[in-house]
């Protein structure tokens, strides 16, 4: 689908010019992958630490003399025109450059992602949003703005929401019903209270790896305290119109072969109250300490359903794991490749004007803010992966009715009262930063959704 068109662009010396904002582990991996491809070029990187940006290029074979630090848009355009690799501390330079075709936002910070995303699409550039923390907060309004500008807003292939969305789209195209879709997790009994301080020990990172791969402890802690999986499944929910069955999802301990049986309706021997939901398949046993025999781990899955006996017979003969009284079947992929597959979304946007997946204009799910420990009046919340709160998925209408605070707005919010561990935090429990860009964009999104509901 893409290779011949990319080869043509390479032959014409007209590669897709990619700018990347945020140079953590993902960003560095993407630069490395792009360096091995034809017809696509990482021409500019923005990161608050210029050494991270420079290291990403040199580790991918770019000589230091080919890297140029730029301070304004004119310098960036000139560097790209001369074939240099531009690096900057200011992501807005990439958003405003005339020569960048596609921008990848990979900071993982809602405030930064909202600001960068807004300027990318309003400057008529395709936006690949790796920053799911931003997507679940203001993705729908960014998608509307991108549509108005005639550019693509998309989540990224390789990460679990995008990989799962590919499978959902495949199944729906062929006429299957989606019973449940989601990802695997490795979630131990004590993970919910995890803090950034525990990241090196929990992941087994040594100092060399932390430095070489620019490991962000806060983001990695969100992987272990359960928040990241909740965020990612909210992103999938809002792309695929698949709400959660319950707050936080069921997240049962389940081996691969048992997924289609467990994620079936209660009356069919499963745990679901409805079809068409997002879910998590935990690879840790019910004791919270040991790993299951054949878990999904970090893979993805979709449970599909067909009522036609011929198709049921075929899927059985192809050895798909069954459930739901023989009508449900498991599709799964035991891995996701994150930065390795991300260029597929870049190519799809630039060559075909299509997203891997993008949020619906009206969200069906929200990531709400829940106290990680007993919190005191006057404390400031620190958002995803921090010391104070977790994120849990909830149906969007429930979050609106109960006035619950989106996790993406929680960073820097000051508590107006004590909050007990496990309590869902509402808007009226906090003082928000009125200068926050993501807050302003979220209010615009909420007003847009309310207006569309009335009309």
CB-based contacts of 195-198 (< 8 A; 24+ apart in sequence): 195/221, 195/225, 195/386, 195/387, 196/220, 196/221, 196/385, 196/386, 196/387, 198/224
- The model's pTM is 0.96
For residues 391 and 414, membership in a common domain is answered with: yes
pLDDT over threshold 60, residue 301:
yes
Q: What is the pLDDT of residues 185-215, one digit of tens each?
A: 999 999 999 999 989 998 999 999 998 888 8
> Which residue stretches of 256-395 are H helix?
259-262, 309-317, 342-352
Considering its fold, how many domains does the chain have in total? 3
Last residue of one domain, picked from the residues 156, 171, 203:
156
For residue 351, is it within any domain? Answer: no
Percent of the chain with pLDDT over 70: 99
Q: What is the pLDDT of residues 369-392, one digit of tens each?
A: 999 999 999 999 999 999 999 999
pLDDT over threshold 90, residue 449:
no
CATH of the domain at 436: 3.90.1210.10
The overall average pLDDT reported for the chain is 97
For residues 249 and 267, membership in a common domain is answered with: yes
Residues 424/370, Cβ–Cβ less than 8 Å: yes
For residues 18 and 106, membership in a common domain is answered with: yes
For residues 11 and 94, membership in a common domain is answered with: yes
For residues 272 and 143, membership in a common domain is answered with: no
For residues 57 and 137, membership in a common domain is answered with: yes
Range of the domain at 319: 161-187+226-336
Last residue of one domain, picked from the residues 156, 178, 207:
156
For residues 136 and 268, membership in a common domain is answered with: no
Q: What is the pLDDT of residues 74-118, one digit of tens each?
A: 999 999 999 999 999 999 999 999 999 999 999 999 999 999 999
For residue 347, is it within any domain? Answer: no
For residue 209, is it within any domain? Answer: no
For residue 344, is it within any domain? Answer: no
For residue 353, is it within any domain? Answer: no
């Amino acid at each position: 689908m893409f290779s011949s068109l990319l080869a043509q662009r390479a032959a014409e010396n007209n590669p897709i010019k990619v700018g990347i904002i945020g140079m953590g582990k993902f960003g560095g991996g993407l630069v490395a992958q792009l360096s091995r491809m034809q017809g696509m070029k990482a021409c500019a990187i923005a990161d608050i630490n210029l050494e991270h940006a420079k290291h990403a290029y040199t580790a991918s074979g770019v000589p230091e003399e080919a890297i140029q630090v730029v301070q304004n848009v004119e310098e960036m355009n000139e560097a790209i025109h001369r074939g240099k690799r531009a690096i900057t501390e200011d992501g807005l330079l990439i958003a405003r450059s005339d020569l960048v075709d596609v921008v990848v936002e990979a900071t993982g910070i809602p405030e930064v992602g909202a600001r960068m995303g807004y300027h990318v699409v309003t400057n008529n550039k395709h936006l690949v949003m790796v920053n799911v923390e931003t997507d679940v907060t203001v993705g729908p309004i960014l998608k509307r703005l991108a549509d108005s500008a005639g550019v693509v807003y998309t989540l990224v292939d390789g990460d679990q929401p995008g990989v799962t969305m590919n499978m959902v789209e495949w199944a729906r195209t062929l006429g299957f019903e989606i019973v449940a879709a989601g990802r695997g997790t490795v979630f131990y009994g004590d993970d919910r209270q995890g803090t950034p301080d525990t990241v090196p020990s929990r992941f087994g990172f040594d100092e060399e790896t932390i430095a070489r791969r620019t490991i962000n402890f806060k983001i990695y802690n969100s992987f272990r305290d359960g928040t990241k999986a909740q965020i990612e499944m909210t992103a999938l929910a809002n792309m695929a119109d698949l709400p959660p069955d319950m707050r936080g999802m069921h997240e049962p301990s389940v081996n691969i072969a048992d997924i289609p049986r467990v994620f079936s309706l209660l009356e069919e021997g499963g745990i679901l109250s409805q079809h068409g939901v997002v879910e998590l398949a935990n690879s840790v046993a019910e004791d919270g300490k040991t790993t299951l025999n054949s878990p999904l781990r970090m893979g993805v899955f979709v449970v599909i359903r067909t009522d036609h006996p011929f198709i049921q017979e075929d899927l059985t003969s192809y050895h798909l794991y069954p459930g739901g009284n023989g009508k449900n079947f498991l599709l799964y992929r035991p891995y996701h490749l994150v930065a390795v597959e991300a260029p597929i979304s870049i190519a799809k946007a630039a060559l075909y004007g299509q997203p891997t997946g993008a949020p619906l204009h009206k969200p069906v799910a929200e990531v709400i803010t829940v106290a990680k420990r007993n919190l005191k009046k006057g404390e400031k919340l620190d958002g995803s992966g921090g010391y104070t709160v977790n994120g849990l998925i909830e149906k969007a209408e429930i979050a609106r009715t109960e006035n619950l605070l989106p996790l993406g707005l929680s960073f820097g919010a000051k508590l107006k009262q004590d909050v007990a561990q496990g309590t869902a935090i509402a808007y009226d429990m906090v003082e928000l930063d009125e200068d926050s860009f993501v807050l302003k964009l979220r209010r615009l999104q909420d007003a847009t959704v309310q207006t569309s509901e009335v009309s």
